[in-house]
Amino acid sequence: MTELPYHDFRNPDDARSAKIRALFAYWQSLHRDGRPGARTSFDPTRVPLLLSSLLLGDITADPFRVFFRLVGTRVADFSRLDFSGYYLDALDYKGRDSIEWLDCYRRLHTTGIGLVGFNRVTWEDDQPMEYEFAILPLARDGDPYGSFVAIEDYDTIERAAIPDLPAVTLFQRTRDDRGD
């Protein structure tokens, strides 16, 4: 069996990144009765140093889809696409990212346990670059894991190399691709 590039995120020491540990601590402070806090209780201004690295979104169970409400500026810069307002299935990141993001969100929604891991970005003959990420569940509309906050920490990647990374792109867009 192949080891996954991510694992359960149960305590701050599961992450290497100080930014990810800081988000985890704030997320834990929102818990009520041992369950994740509501999406509406998450106040991004309480973690101002993390804002540019955050993603906020929703998960629907049937059909299973992931919607990105907010993508931080560093994430958009790194992806070379601001995918705020798009569903995950509208994004083409295959061949670039080592992570199968849909599997991560399914696991998060099924178990209600956050994930932390490393994504390796590769392209052509260049050396891959790796960054740490985390995805944490939030409650929404009666679904205890129907929303999420995620973070991607690119601090280990040389900023000058980002323009050379392959871009995340959109598949052919239809009117239903957006969460309007």
Output the pTM of the full model: 0.91
* pLDDT(3) > 90: no
Report the candidate in 83, 18, 22, 78 with the shortest Cα–Cα distance to residue 57. Answer: 83
Q: State phi, psi for 78 to the nearest 5 degrees.
A: -65, -40
* pLDDT(174) > 80: no
Establish if 179 belongs to a structural domain. Answer: no
Establish if 25 belongs to a structural domain. Answer: yes
Any residues with CB less than 8 A from the CB of 55 and at least 6 apart, and which?
Answer: 68, 70, 71, 72, 75, 148, 149, 150, 151, 152
Q: Give the count of domains, the chain.
A: 1
pLDDT at 125: 65
Higher-confidence residue: 167 or 26?
A: 26
Establish if 72 belongs to a structural domain. Answer: yes
Condensed to tens digits (0 to 9), the pLDDT of residues 13-53 reads 999 999 999 999 999 999 998 899 999 999 999 999 999 99
**Euclidean distance between CA atoms 163 and 133, whole angstroms:** 20
- Through-space distance between the first and last CA atoms of the chain, rounded to whole angstroms: 40
Establish if 98 belongs to a structural domain. Answer: yes
Establish if 146 belongs to a structural domain. Answer: yes
27: containing domain: 6-40+48-172
Condensed to tens digits (0 to 9), the pLDDT of residues 101-143 reads 999 999 999 999 999 999 998 876 677 889 999 999 999 999 9
Establish if 85 belongs to a structural domain. Answer: yes
CATH code for the domain of 113: 3.30.450.20
Establish if 120 belongs to a structural domain. Answer: yes
Establish if 140 belongs to a structural domain. Answer: yes
**Euclidean distance between CA atoms 54 and 70, whole angstroms:** 8
